[in-house]
């Protein structure tokens, strides 16, 4: 698979994960056990951070100009 195709697919999947995690936040708020609720929110935050790292690196790769010509 060519890199542009792979990076486009990765970006699409990352966006889908981000959308799913966003939908999970209000559901986690309904958890009544404080310890469980706290741990779920922490995990959702970590997932969000890592997905954003993937998206950021894909954007950098997409915008990078590998040419050496000035």
Q: Is residue 6 included in any domain, yes or no?
A: no
Cα–Cα dist 54/17, whole Å: 11
Report the domain count for the chain. Answer: 1
Q: Is residue 7 included in any domain, yes or no?
A: no
Q: Is residue 35 included in any domain, yes or no?
A: yes
Cα–Cα dist 66/32, whole Å: 52
pTM across the whole model? 0.80
Q: Is residue 22 included in any domain, yes or no?
A: yes
Instruction: Reply yes or no on whether the pLDDT at 66 is more than 70.
Output: no
Instruction: Reply yes or no on whether the pLDDT at 70 is more than 60.
Output: no
Q: Quick: pLDDT tens for 21-56.
A: 999 999 999 999 999 999 999 999 999 999 999 999
Q: Quick: pLDDT tens for 8-17.
A: 999 999 999 9
pLDDT band at 65 (very low <50, low <70, confident <90, very high): low
Q: Is residue 30 included in any domain, yes or no?
A: yes
- For residue 54, the enclosing domain spans 13-58
């Amino acid at each position: 698979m060519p890199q542009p195709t792979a990076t486009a697919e990765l970006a699409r999947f990352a966006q889908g994960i981000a959308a799913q995690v966003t939908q999970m936040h209000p559901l986690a708020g309904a958890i009544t056990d404080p310890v469980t609720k706290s741990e779920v929110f922490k995990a959702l935050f970590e997932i969000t951070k890592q997905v954003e790292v993937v998206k950021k690196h894909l954007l950098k790769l997409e915008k990078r100009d590998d040419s050496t010509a000035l």
